Every structure is written in structure tokens, then in C-alpha cells.
Amino acid sequence: MSQKLEQLSKNQQIVLNLIEKAKGPLKAYSILYNVQKKGIKAPLQVYRALEKLIKIGKIHKIESKNAFIACNNSECEISNATAFSICDNCEHVKEIKNAKLSKYLSNFHDNSGMKFKKYNLEFFGLCKNCKLKQ
């Protein structure tokens, strides 16, 4: 199994494939269940792949849901500036691509003397579909 610098390992690729074809964020143990037929047997194998995929920006963790979603933003390879919209009703999650927002937040600083290198923003509300139904 050849593996160049920028390539993913076997387990990493298996986990990424699953997350990329999913319609929404997946939980770690749901991933585990779904990749057992591929030979991944233990939680750690999943968590290690997730850790790497997050590090290289292929996926993100939705912190409020303990779930993992494929990156939808070619610009955030470093994964240090993420924003999501999350529907409170159907749990639909979407990564927000908005240059103005990311510029605003990347340049933001408070009065504490702290330099921010990374941020994660989660918006909650009702998606268009769920709004109509109510």
C-alpha cells in the first residue's frame, strides 16, 4: 500500500469516504459501525483517523453535536476558521462559506491582548424547510 506525503492512509481514507458521502454529520460510533465491514474494528481506529482528517482540514467536528462533517470549503484546508449553520429541528448542518464573515472574524480582537489563531462558530435556528412546516 503505497503512501505519498499528501496521501491518506487506509483507515483515514475509509473514514473520509464514509463522511464525504453522508448527507450530514456522523457520530464516531456510527462511523465505527459503518466501517466494520471494511476491517476497522475498534473506536480508537476511528478516532485516530478523525483526528488526522481534522488536522488536515478534510473534516470538521461539530462541537455542539459531537459529530463530524466533511469540509465544504476549499479554502479552509487548515481548518482554523470554521462556521456552521445548524437546524434545531431537523439537525441539518451546513458549513458557511462567507468571505466577509471569515475576514471579520479573522481580524477580530478583543481588549485582552490575546491574538486569535483559530475560531469556530455555530449558528442555530430553523432551516427553510422546517420554518415552512411550522
What is the binding site for a second copy (CB under 8 A)? 63-64, 85, 87-88, 94, 96, 98, 101, 104-105, 108, 110, 112-128, 131
The candidate with the shortest Cα–Cα distance to 23, out of 71, 69, 83, 75, is: 69
- DSSP letter at 37? G
Residue in the block written with cell 475576514: 103
Whichever of 60 and 102 has its CB closer to DNA, that residue is 60
Return the SS3 of 95: strand
Window contacting Zn ion (CB under 5 A); options: 34-42, 75-83, 100-108, 111-119: 75-83
**Distance of closest approach, residue 23 Cβ to a second copy, in angstroms:** 15
Query: What would the grid cell of residue 71 be?
Result: 469540509
Residues 79-108 that bind Zn ion (CB under 5 A): 87, 89-90, 92
Q: Are the C-beta atoms of residues 36 and 17 closer than 8 Å to each other?
A: no
Residues at the interface with Zn ion (CB under 5 A): 71, 73, 76, 87, 89-90, 92, 127, 130
